[in-house]
Structure 1
């Protein structure tokens, strides 16, 4: 097999995996929904081979769950998982913000200021959905400039699960706009080179977001019970 054919196969596998994961993150495939290979293959327009490899990867990442009867379903969203994800993020991202306050260059600060402004512009235009990626971009950039590579690697593994929960919560009401205002506070601490302050504001930011998300998820659960 030629190198170009191998490269095409690899791209096909990766694209199938990424497309399927994105549909789970965006809640196009809903939490707890039963899924079948035939319908997924038709939805994505792919053959069974790349689909099965994508499914295996997403099972390993806990986006898909294999039931005792062998059937597949989209992983549910739970209060317990939500809390664990955000508590781990709070511990890691506090240290990241602290190091970012120490390492940030004037160019970094200029770049982060633009990110915060883009987020605020999206919110003023009433587009909470568009603001969410800018918020994640801000957090990702802090991780990058912190120099804490192990922290960054662990957070990257949590990122898509976090985004899934944020998108799910946003479907049931606006995301807490205060969360984006807190980005401005974090940035100000970084500009001031206030390492301890940056750590505390970041942790407060993560735990405030957790509190909002838990309340929203509990309300959704209560509505379903009714």
Structure 2
């Protein structure tokens, strides 16, 4: 087990939560953060030791992670972190673009002053993360801002659909958080202003363009690899 993984899971999973769910969530977060990397072999015993649990909930979590597309199970070889294809990434980001363009439109129509103020705070947090060159903080701020826009939309079904793709979007976004950096947060600033001004059409167009540029950069980086 690598030192980085040991450090990342030094806080053992919380017992009050259902154990299988806690182990599943812990492993997903390790995959999203890049501590467990695409293609990496996952050894039940090592994961169980680091998470402070028996092998059984780890085995169950790996089965569910396989079902949900986070892990590949290979006969006679074991479990490996899934390596997303360009097609997978583009399909997910395309769906996200549709959902979030609509959420930006609704947010511009429905946001109240307190909600807009919170958007400005999250925008500031993102700019501070860029200045600090802190990728983890940048991803967290990006997720928080997009999630807040979804909440301002005032459509529970839409928010639930966005939440379904949010974790995987974080996984795909993490490698490009820094390269996307300043441009992404300039677009966020424009988006926040459109929402604050109640301009639903403009907010939707900015969000769609923002999502398309993220997809384009991801595609470029995949080609380099």
Structure 1 residues 63-212: aligned runs within 5 Å: 63-69=70-76, 71-170=78-177, 174-212=179-217
- Give the secondary-structure state (helix, strand or coil) at the position aligned to 1:174: helix
Deviating 4+ runs (over 6 angstroms): none
Q: Give the alignment's Cα RMSD to 1 decimal.
A: 1.9
Structure 1 spans left out of the alignment, 5+ residues: 1-6, 221-226
Deviates further, 130-139 or 30-39: 30-39
What is the match of residue 36 of structure 1? 43
* TM-superposition CA deviations, 1:36-89 (whole Å, max 9, x none): 222221232210122122222212211011224462111112211111111101
Distance 1:131 1:10 in 2: 28
- Contact 1:176/1:209 (8 A) holds in 2: no
In structure 2, what is the Cα distance between the partners aligned to 1:112 and 1:127? 20
Superposed displacement of residue 111, structure 1: 0.8
Q: TM-score, normalised by structure 1?
A: 0.87
Q: Distance in 1 between matches of 2:75 and 2:152?
A: 44
Please say if residues 122 and 145 of structure 2, whose CA atoms lie closer than 8 Å, have aligned partners that are also in contact.
yes
Cα deviation 1:131-168 (Å, max 9, x = unaligned): 22111101001111212222221221111111111123
Distance 2:184 2:176 in 1: 13
Q: CA contact under 8 A between 2:100 and 2:208: conserved in structure 1?
A: yes
CA distance in 2 between partners of 1:110 and 1:10 (Å): 33
Structure 2: runs of 5 or more not aligned: 1-13
Distance in 1 (CA, whole Å) between partners of 2:66 and 2:131 is: 38
CA contact 1:101–1:189 (8 Å) conserved in 2: yes
1:58 to 2:65 alignment: yes
TM-score (norm 2): 0.87
Tell me what 1:4 maps to.
none
Question: Relative to 1, partners in 2 of residues 1:135 and 1:81: Cα closer, same or farther, differing over 3 Å?
Answer: same
Residues paired across the two proteins, number: 212
Supply the distance in 1 between the matched residues of 2:17 and 2:130 (Cα, whole angstroms): 38
User: How far did residue 32 of structure 1 move?
Assistant: 1.5
